[in-house]
Every structure is written in structure tokens, then in C-alpha cells.
Amino acid sequence: MHPELIKLEETFKPSILTKIDESLCAHKAIELWMKRDDQLHPVISGNKWRKLKFILDHALYSGADTIISMGGVYSNHLHALAYVGKVLGLKTIAYVRGDAPAVLTPTLVDLKNWGMELRFISRTEYRQLRHYKGCLDLPGLKPQQYWLPEGGAQALALCGVTELVAEIDIAYDYLCVPCGTGATLAGLISATTDNISLLGFAALKNAGFLNTDVSSLLKQSKNNWQINLDYHFGGFASTTPELLNFISAFETKTTIQLEPVYTGKMMYALYDLISQGHFSAGQRIIAIHTGGLQGDRERSR
Ligand SMILES: *Cc1c(COP(=O)(O)O)cnc(C)c1O
């Protein structure tokens, strides 16, 4: 591991396991735990660090001085990348989906303050960029520039997620995670043994493609995982009053903050599945709090 990354990681806090004490769980005789990757770092979003760590190591050791990536105007991935780039002395460039908004989002303000160069592009151009998966694949890339696809979904992203799994020191039956690109889920699948069931919850609508995307990130095929497509609440970043009410109630009861794009939808789904009797008595479920709270700074609480 590059010494600069070791130095940075020394400032991190441990991601602990928190038990969610809920009468619903007691009633169904199951245990629900949360792995608090949201607590890893005050700025860097949990699963984005997991995915970036070994990619950054590769970039630094291959002599890159610039990392170029892509994302939306609330992107947790760009936010983590811009911050880490500043700390490590790497230049960062982002292709941002859509026109520059008249009023910058809190995320974009941070990106600018941390020195990330923002290039706003049309949705069509943005979609085209998704074709470039490898770190040298972006057309026109200059020497010492390193390309990182959307969400940091690249084979090396899985290595950092392996570390998350290794930190879990209790026995469990289910490991649950929200899915955007599915790279975090792929990392969990490759790091767990076959007796563990993995459940991904798609944050977007019509996300059947995630099954193919996750499979293609895996070195060997496995069948202990599933992606639930039913709890998108209308699409990526869409919400409903029901979802927002659930999140507020959860936050009040547990004092654990959620956001409505990923972790809120996953927890809603889990509560729903638990109450439907999807899990058997005696089973222990661990849900991963992937972080992402920075993207939710405009929601009134
Ligand atoms: C990006 C993100 C995800 C999705 O991760 P993928 O690896 O792209 O599936 C989940 N939760 C949060 C908070 C995120 O920021």
C-alpha cells in the first residue's frame, strides 16, 4: 500500500457493528445489525473509500498525476474522489451529467473548493462515457492521466470491499447492501463463503442489468446472491412521502442517520421483508450503512 494512503487511512475511525433493537425483529425472532461504514470518515463516503483505496494505490504506483471520472451533481463518488485527490496531491477532473445548475449543489461547491475541474456534458455524452471501463480506455487520455469509470466500478474496487467483510467479527446469515453500479455487492460476493446470502437492493428503476454487471465483475460465478429490484420508489434519487416518513421514524428511534437515495431504500425494504416473514427465526442479518450522507444536505430535517 502506498505510504500516502496508509497515512490517510490512519485518520479513519473504525466501522463498528450496531444492533438495531426493534420490536419488529424481536417479534420475528431475527437479529438486524448495521455495519457503520458511514462512520469511517467525516468527509469520505464509506463505500466510496472501500472502492477507491486499491484503485488509488494502483494509480499512485503507476505514476498517475491526474484522475478523471464521471458522476451526477450529487455524486458521492466524485465527492470522495475530489477530497482524496486534494489530500494526496492528485489533480482531479470530472465529467458531470447535465448542464451546470444556476445554483451549485452542496456537492458541486465542495468539488470546486477541493480543486476538481468540472466539465458539464449532455446526458447522451454521459451515457457514452459508460463504455470506457479500463483505466486507460478513455479516448484522448494523456500520459499520467488515469480514467475511473462511473462510481469507481472497476475490478480493483472489489479488493477494498474484501477488507470490509474481514472486519465483521460475528457470525451472520445475510449481508445486505444498496446497489448503484453493483460494484460494492460484487466485492461482498467475492469475499464471502457460500453459506452467506447476499442481498443487493437496486437504487434505480429497471435495474435488471445489474445482474449482468455484477456477474461480469466477479472472477468466479457464484449463486448465493440476489438483487431485489422492487424498492426503487420511482427511480434513482426519487422519493415518496412514505419513504421519507420511514427514514425520519428510523432516525428518531435509532439516532442513525440515513439518506433517501441508497440506505433509506434498503432499510425500508428490509423492514418490509422482515414483516412479510422473508427471513427465518434465528437468522442474523447485517445491513451495510454505505454512507452517502453528504448528498442529502438539502433535505430539511
Ligand atoms: C455509490 C453508493 C452506493 C452504491 O454503490 P455501488 O458500488 O455503485 O453499487 C450505495 N450507497 C451509497 C451511500 C453510495 O454512495
- The DSSP-derived string for 33-63 is EEEEGGGS-SSS-HHHHHHHHHHHHHHHHTT
Domain 47-152 has CATH 3.30.565.10: no
CA 86 → CA 82, 111, 243, 252, distances in Å? Answer: 6, 10, 35, 35
What's the rounded Cα separation, in Å, for the pair 231 and 212? Answer: 19
Among the CATH numbers 3.90.550.10, 3.30.365.10, 1.10.260.40, 3.40.50.1100, which is that of 3-41+158-299? 3.40.50.1100
Q: pLDDT digit string (tens) for 141-162?
A: 999 999 999 998 889 999 999 9
Q: Identify the pLDDT of residue 267.
A: 98
Q: Identify the pLDDT of residue 147.
A: 98
What's the rounded Cα separation, in Å, for the pair 127 and 125? Answer: 5
Q: Identify the pLDDT of residue 282.
A: 96
CB contact at 8 A, 15 and 266: no
Tell how far the Cα of 180 is from the centroid of ligand 1, in angstroms. 5
Q: Identify the pLDDT of residue 79.
A: 98
Strand 145-147 to 66-71 pairing: parallel
Residue 75, amino acid: S
Indicate which residue's Cα is closest to atom 2 of ligand 1: 180
Residue 160, amino acid: G
pTM, rounded to two decimals? 0.96
Q: Identify the pLDDT of residue 301.
A: 60
Indicate which residue's Cα is closest to atom 10 of ligand 1: 178
Q: How many CA atoms lie within 13 A of 33 on its CB side?
A: 19
Rg, the chain, Cα only: 19
Kindly report, as residue ranges, where domains of CATH 3.40.50.1100 are found in the chain.
Answer: 3-41+158-299, 47-152
In this prediction, the residues of the chain whose per-residue pLDDT falls under 70 are 300-301
Question: Which of 40, 76, 133, 175 has most ligand 1 atoms within 8 Å of CB, for mutation?
Answer: 76
Q: Identify the pLDDT of residue 299.
A: 79
For ligand 1, is residue 149 a contact (CB within 6 Å)?
Answer: no
